[in-house]
Amino acid sequence: MSNEETAGEGGKHRTYRLHNVSIPARPLEAALYLVATPIGNLGDITLRALETLAGADVLACEDTRVTRVLLDRYGIQNRPFSYHEYNADEAGPRLMQAIEAGKSVALVSDAGTPLVSDPGYRLAQTAIETGYKVVPIPGASAPLAALVGSGLPNEAFLFAGFLPVKDKARRDRLGEFATTPATLLFFESPHRIGATLAAAADVLGGERLASVCRELTKTYEEFRRGTLAELAAHYAENDNVKGEIVLVVAPAAEKPADAADVDAILADLSGTMPTAKAAAEAAKLTGLPRKELYQRLLEMKADER
């Protein structure tokens, strides 16, 4: 990698600009820095990210034209170096050589957090295996923005990236998540969202709540919420969809406990603890109301007399 390509040799201005004020960026130690960038609104960049982009010896990105827009917005003169799925085999070793030579390497994707559905994973894995330091610089993330804006449960969630393009493979993949006790998040393209929603309604259940989160943080940001069946019907009639999409699907509903199973649980618990405590423990296990279980346990004990 030549001096021009690293753009980190003598003469580079390590500064970034905020409100026409030029701010110096401190030099960085040799490491791979994974820098999150805005997913739409350029104001969503963090100060730490700006300092890292300005201070890095080498700045690697998917598309130099996309990254240049962000750099120009904040007066960063660092010259980006291309690293994407088509040149990873050649560019990856050159970036590792830069770290070995004592340089700091910052990696950004076109939008959001690197390594989420992009080839940066290979670079980070190589750096870790080689023993180099990997430093995450957190910030914008489309899956998390969609999750918190969807209004769906967030105690547990699973990001599954893009679903397969072909219908059977897509349905098979959805079937793997049919009973997953977590909110599901998928990336989807606008021209496939209708087919994906139809498949999800069939496989996961049309009554399941979901949210189509489109153009996050951008001017025409939209959260369309409803059941999978309702959303599938809407997008079947509206196929002129534009923008990037995150599909968020609520967790599978818990299966109601069978009456015989509940009685067995109550009988087992009441053998080792008082009635009230047994009912409370059974409520935790089954999700049923404690008072209802307490009354059922009293009836069971009365029948035994």
* E-strand stretches of 41-120: 58-61, 80-82, 104-108
Residues sharing a CB contact under 8 Å with residue 214, sequence separation 6 or more, in sequence order: 190, 220, 221, 222, 223, 224, 241, 243, 244, 245
Q: Distance between alpha carbon 104 and the CA centroid of its chain, in Å?
A: 26
Segment 181-202, tens digit of pLDDT: 999 999 999 999 999 999 999 9
Q: Read off the pTM.
A: 0.78
Residue 130: predicted pLDDT: 96
Across 53-64, average pLDDT: 96
Residue bearing the bigger pLDDT, 58 or 2: 58
CA-based nearest residue to 152, from 209, 224, 234: 209
Q: What is the mean pLDDT of residues 108-115?
A: 92
How many percent of the chain have pLDDT more than 90?
76
Each residue's pLDDT tens digit, 218-270: 999 999 999 999 999 999 998 789 999 999 999 987 665 677 788 899 999 98
Q: Give the distance, in angstroms, between the CA of residue 202 and the centroid of all CA atoms in the same chain.
A: 24
Distance of CA 102 to the CA centre of its chain: 32
259 or 8, which is more confident: 259
CA atoms of 141 and 109, how far apart (whole Å): 11
d(CA 57, CA 82): 14
Q: What phi and psi values does residue 289 have, to the nearest 5 degrees?
A: -60, 135
